[in-house]
Structure 1
Amino acid sequence: MKIVVIGPAWVGDMVMSQSLYITLKQQHPDAVLHVMAPGWCLPLLERMPEVDRAITMPLGHGDLQLGARWRLGRELKAEGYDWALVLPNSLKSALIPLFAGIPRRTGWKGESRYGLLNDLRSNKRDFPLMVQGYMALAFTKSQMTSATALPAIPHPALRVDRAQQDKARIRLGLSSQAPVLGLCPGAEFGPAKRWPETYYANIAERWCAKGGQVWIFGSAKDGDVAHSILNQLSPTAQGQCQILAGQTSLTEAIDLLAACNAAVCNDSGLMHITAAVGTPLVAVYGSTSTAYTPPLSTKVETVQTDISCRPCFKRECPLGHLKCLTELSPDRVWQALTRLHPVLAQDVSPITLADD
């Protein structure tokens, strides 16, 4: 059997989709599995042993470009795929498998994709977790009446390249002499996912006071946030902190997150990567919910508030107060870290930030 998956566009969603690929290979051990995804997701697919080939999706997320999709579909027709699984919900994402003439085309109803998909699923509400919705597509309709029919979710497990990890350490001048806390304070989705920088600085200061070092991860867009955290630290802690935001490729970030002893992350793509490389993780949730996209790991503590307006799943706080984040104290996150690393349990005081 030859299978192609039209993969998601977001980094976190792509990480979670590995649970589907693992399931497909468990169901069909001899199958050939290809995944089509945007170029920025290809480094993730290269670290998934289940994926035999990653195919670049050359079209933008919002582009219909019907002619280009037709041509891409005709190119894929030569591959002779038996089965296509379409993970995005958009109508246009289902066009390429149709144009490729793939006989079995599976996906959720999404944007009323009648006729485009001939193995259409309409009971998505019965699979509350995103990863459950992905996994359900590996089975027949009759098998998957609800999430209770699913097997145990296989956690994503990205391959870590130790040689490349060492090269990244050398290139960036990173020390391995002290325990590393990784911080991932950005969130591409929007500010309603971003825990305050002052709170991240508080955690960084405590970790450094224990003799550790801090690496701040993120894209170039997160540079201002990373520098804000650094500038709030005491001079001593600043010397134990390194900004990696905008300094690493996604591949290097995978390997370096695996080198951390623990991490604190917003609900973001880097959070899901951290979980998938097995690093002990404290995941901070604001407007989103663990009931939909939890980090898939056994080494995780999630923290969130229970205020009535969350989860709203908005990019920006519709009420303008961001209480789902501001009322989530650094003490709660530190306590979660101590549960992952009991050696941290001894109180460290005083905590002095640079602007005190």
Structure 2
Amino acid sequence: MFLLASPYFSKKRMRESFSLADRFYTTFRDIAERKKPIVVVIPHFTHADAISMIPCLTDAAIPETGTIYRPLKNAAIEQWVRETRSKFGVKMLSRKEGFSEAIEILRSGGAVAVLFDQNAGYQGILTTFMGRLASSTELPGLLAKKFNADVYAAYTNRKGFWQAEIDIEKIDCDSSESHNVVFAAGKWLEEKLRSSEVNCGDWLWLHNRWGTQNEWSKRFGIKIKRNALEETKAFYNQTELPRTTRFWFRMPNWLGDVLMAIPLIRAVRKSRPDAEITLIAKDAFMPFLKRLGIAENYISLPNKNNYWRSFWQLRNQYPDTYFLFTNSFRGDMEAFLTRCPQRFGMLRAKKLRPLLTHTWKIPKGLDETMEHQTDVWRQCFDYFGFDEKLELSPLQLSLEDIPDIIPLDSGRENIGLICGTENNPSKRWPVEYWRSLIHKLIEHNPSVRIFLFGTIRDAIITKDVATGFPTHNVKDLAGETNMLQFAKYMQACEVVVCNDTGGMHIANALGVPVIAIFGPTNPLRTGPVFNAPKIILQPYHCPLSGGMPIHYVTCERVFHSTLSLLEKLASIE
């Protein structure tokens, strides 16, 4: 409103409404004596336009002053604004017309002012403001560096309706590097906003200060002309950026899928170093996920009695972006209830996901039977701005503090067998085949110790497998371990022989060598993904994408593959 009314203010009315702080006069005298150019940064406080009218507020001599501004697209409004702001003697310097006039003013020892707290878009310098990624104009720093200018901040302190005191403060910074000016000016403004309720209320919060890195199509990466985040950390004495951008990931419902999603989570931590990651998953997976340390927060799926209310209450945590590895309406409703403004997921043919804000439609030419699930998710992440190489090295998991069920003898050869599967009997290698394999392994190495792994549901299978074997050779742990104990005993194995099941992915993720037996299922899509030793066994003449009965993989073949892998690993050691 003031900008609209100010052309009709007389000089007397201006002086009645606005005044200069005493510090202004001291600064004028100092500048006049030293004849050194200054760069003035101006924040968007209420009545900021009054700063262009300083010449009418004092009879003291002031240096030649110009204000660099971004011209408006409407010619009539642009002319009106320019005439209004230059009415009392400050030169308006349009960015569109270049900086030659600004350069001449600084060369002559004058002052050039810049509105510095706008979103500078993808052409700006990427730093942080109030702990969140923000693009800032580097112009004040470039000018200060080129002309060895001092840097000041001029701002208004509102006193009432159309009443304010205009103040000025010197910003101490090393202008030999332009980004130092950007950082110091940003820090100065942060302190003003935090220390004064009036300034905090008067600042223009609505001009999308943090908008550049929030765009959905670039959300999982950082796109900017000049990335100064390393320099920002050094300026603030930080070892890492504040993790203030809230990324929530709804993890899959199956253990194997959770493990296949982990490389994406690890990569996002690298591509968005400002991301505060929250994993939402089944409670059974939480001890393992927390031990990995790949997120800041973990939310277990609530019980059925309070399910939807729990997600509605999560809206008070204000997630910024919510990605769903799941594809169900239930998962979409979970995300919708959090009121997260960005909800991402994949969209398959003939399926609707109206509760998501943005979806990646799987291309018609993409044959999912020939693509690993992790790579399909990576393509989805790419659609949302991801541009990192996946980190597929095994996970580093320390489990020494996890209590033993039985003593672990490091002097013996330990082999793990996973005989069951959680959800599909056709994926299970027959019990008699497992028993035959154990016979051969004990015959080959009488001191071998074989662990049978599995859930409580697998115990009926492992009981049949273990029956009759010496307990010093075969230890049935199915249903006896929690998830971390499961991982600990798996880490102690030289090799794990398994069906296509979640335990296969845990072993592979931990770097344990794996021999995985596939039949009807597709190892191209759901095989072990981490860079650890692995052998995939399928029936002879079976398509790479699977489709044949698993019992066509013979015991003899699995046994020789196990010995071959053990010998290869021994030769490497």
| TM-score normalized with structure 1 length | 0.81
Which residue identity lines up with residue 268 of structure 1 in the other structure? T
* Whole-angstrom CA distance in 2 between matches of 1:220 and 1:49: 27
The aligned residue for residue 357 of structure 2 is 118
The aligned residue for residue 315 of structure 2 is 77
Which residue identity lines up with residue 295 of structure 1 in the other structure? P
Contact 1:265 1:281 in 2 (8 A): yes
* Cα deviation 1:294-337 (Å, max 9, x = unaligned): 11233110101145699677xxxxxxxxx622210012112222
1:88 to partner: Cα distance:
0.7
* Cα deviation 1:58-101 (Å, max 9, x = unaligned): 256xxxx9x942x2333221112111101111112011222212
Which residue identity lines up with residue 296 of structure 1 in the other structure? V
Which residue identity lines up with residue 563 of structure 2 in the other structure? T
* Whole-angstrom CA distance in 1 between matches of 2:455 and 2:353: 38
SS at structure 2 position matched to 1:339: helix
Contact 1:47 1:159 in 2 (8 A): no
The aligned residue for residue 252 of structure 1 is 485
The aligned residue for residue 90 of structure 1 is 328
* Whole-angstrom CA distance in 2 between matches of 1:56 and 1:105: 19
Which residue identity lines up with residue 279 of structure 1 in the other structure? V
Quick one: structure 1 residues 192 and 100, their matched pair in 2 at CA, closer, same or farther if it must change by over 3 Å?
Answer: same
The aligned residue for residue 287 of structure 2 is 43
1:182 to partner: Cα distance:
0.4
* Whole-angstrom CA distance in 1 between matches of 2:492 and 2:353: 46
Q: How many residues align?
A: 318
* Whole-angstrom CA distance in 1 between matches of 2:569 and 2:557: 14
1:206 to partner: Cα distance:
2.6
* Whole-angstrom CA distance in 1 between matches of 2:318 and 2:393: 28
The aligned residue for residue 132 of structure 1 is 375
Q: RMSD of the alignment, in Å? A: 2.6
Structure possessing the higher relative contact order (Cα contacts under 8 Å, 6 or more residues apart): 1
| TM-score normalized with structure 2 length | 0.52
1:152 to partner: Cα distance:
4.5
The aligned residue for residue 264 of structure 1 is 497
Contact 1:281 1:301 in 2 (8 A): yes
Contact 2:524 2:545 in 1 (8 A): no
1:153 to partner: Cα distance:
3.7
SS at structure 2 position matched to 1:34: strand
Contact 1:164 1:252 in 2 (8 A): no
1:163 to partner: Cα distance:
1.9
Identity over the aligned pairs, expressed in percent?
22
* Cα deviation 1:240-284 (Å, max 9, x = unaligned): 111101111111101111111111011101110010111111011
- Indicate whether 1:204 and 2:438 are aligned: yes
The aligned residue for residue 319 of structure 1 is none
The aligned residue for residue 216 of structure 1 is 452
The aligned residue for residue 52 of structure 1 is 296
Which residue identity lines up with residue 406 of structure 2 in the other structure? L
SS at structure 2 position matched to 1:292: helix
- Indicate whether 1:328 and 2:553 are aligned: yes
Quick one: structure 1 residues 18 and 213, their matched pair in 2 at CA, closer, same or farther if it must change by over 3 Å?
Answer: same
- Indicate whether 1:278 and 2:511 are aligned: yes
Quick one: structure 1 residues 307 and 59, their matched pair in 2 at CA, closer, same or farther if it must change by over 3 Å?
Answer: farther
Which of these residues, 340, 343, 354, is aligned with residue 102 of structure 1? 340
1:172 to partner: Cα distance:
2.5
SS at structure 2 position matched to 1:97: helix
- Larger Cα Rg: Structure 1 or Structure 2? 2
Moved >4 Å (runs of 4+) = 306-313
Contact 1:18 1:48 in 2 (8 A): no
- Indicate whether 1:181 and 2:424 are aligned: no
SS at structure 2 position matched to 1:183: strand
Which residue identity lines up with residue 93 of structure 1 in the other structure? G
Q: Which runs of no fewer than 5 residues in structure 1 stay unpaired? A: 145-149, 314-322, 346-356
Quick one: structure 1 residues 244 and 39, their matched pair in 2 at CA, closer, same or farther if it must change by over 3 Å?
Answer: same
Contact 2:540 2:553 in 1 (8 A): no
1:188 to partner: Cα distance:
0.7
* Whole-angstrom CA distance in 2 between matches of 1:114 and 1:218: 36
* Whole-angstrom CA distance in 1 between matches of 2:334 and 2:505: 28
